[in-house]
Amino acid sequence: MYSFSSRIRYSECDSGGKLTLASLLNYFQDCSTFQSEDLRLGFEYLSERHLVWVLAFWQIVVLRRPGICEEVEIGTFPYEFKKCIGVRNFFMRTKEGEYLAKANSVWGLLNTETMKPTLPSADMLRGYRLESRLEMDYSPRKIKMPDELVREEPIVVKKHHLDTNLHVNNGQYIDMALEFLPEDFVVGQLRAEYKKQAWLGDVLYPYTAKAAGAYSIALRDENGEPYVNMLFLNGAKTAEGLVNDQAG
């Protein structure tokens, strides 16, 4: 397991002084980046070999949102490799060991010259030591969107949406989607299925649908093909029945 300690900053909190979902996601992304860099399997290693890890799926369960100045530990570890696919857990917990959030994620390794899947190197398999996965309710990767969706105002991809790979960072899609949730909607669980990459100047067309205790949000291109499908569940409950209803 790889972990680092931090303290919740004012800039990471909402108007109620609690950690935002976007900030939680950034902690998770930073944690896996720190691990890769410390193992010398990070940005430079991947660039030299024309490789990139692309996120295919997030499941984030929020158990409690920490407040300003609360001390936390953020951790991550892989628990499975399947050919070009790597699967890893994330968590945030208190110094006393209380879990604040748990997450599951699926990543694909691509060759940036051919844009085709490729197998992880021997260095990667040695460096990313597999561990037993976290105890949590694991949801299916595939998200089935409702038939009836409301089309919202389009979003043009700007420079601030991009990451070092020059495509829209996975967290930016979630930031965009959060704008369509009501002010009183507290996210207890997020699932995001990433379908394709968006680049500078692309236009994303949001589609939303409300159900009991949930919002389905898709960001699509002009032809209706999805960049990402997302499901937000209200509250800290798993809402297992609803998840199963939404899963294909």
C-alpha separations of 194 from 11, 92, 107, 127 in Å = 27, 23, 10, 26
Specify the CATH class of 2-127 in words: alpha beta
Q: What average pLDDT values come out for the chain (248 residues) when binned by 10 residues?
A: 97 94 94 97 95 95 96 98 96 96 97 94 96 95 92 92 79 91 91 91 94 93 94 67 36
Q: Write down the CATH number for the domain with range 150-246.
A: 3.10.129.10
pTM: 0.89
The residues of the chain that CATH labels 3.10.129.10 are 2-127, 150-246
